[in-house]
A and B are shown apart, each in its own frame.
Chain A
Amino acid sequence: QVQLQESGPGLVKPSQTLSLTCTVSGGSISSGGYYWSWIRQHPGKGLEWIGYIYYSGSTYYNPSLKSRVTISVDTSKNQFSLKLSSVTAADTAVYYCARDRVVGQQLVPASFDYWGQGTLVTVSS
């Protein structure tokens, strides 16, 4: 059974960089066939995709966040990470990591089949 677990500070000051790590167990990031994603949910709001990374290091980011987002992978630790720079109160949200199954030769993402429990990050001084 694949499990994902987010970790990182729950409080970040405005203008600083939010950093989170997702540790994957029960499956290898290096096995391919999946994108490893970050998704967030503002309080009382819907889901917002932040971006994802393939085990090879290829990344895709939400165009609206692209200038501030970096996602990286450490296959030796079976982890992937999120960095979001220059945060403001608008970045306060629950952040989820998730596994996104890929289909076809063009590697189109199709479904988030495993999710972490989520971690609340508050941006406040």
Chain B
Amino acid sequence: ETGVTQTPRHLVMGMTNKKSLKCEQHLGHNAMYWYKQSAKKPLELMFVYNFKEQTENNSVPSRFSPECPNSSHLFLHLHTLQPEDSALYLCASSPTQGAPIYGYTFGSGTRLTVV
């Protein structure tokens, strides 16, 4: 139990489908992150939320839409994805965005396959 729970663990979706990834943390952290992990590439930061407010969007295509209703929950809504979007999507949290020295607590990820 890492304190950050992601569901589902695996997802296969067609290019015309709409699906959502869910992340929940019970650590009392105020910052939450979405990362994309592809084979042989560094972790790519997608979005950052700090105290429920989006503070960073790293030029992510609009087919990825994040939502953060409160500091404990983070969603990633997916629609009309491309096969190259297949990857491991990791959610992470930290005490606050302004203190990266404390490190991140990651969830186990959602393995997404777009067919």
Are these two chains actual partners, yes or no?
Answer: no
Give the B-binding residues of A (Cβ under 8 A): none
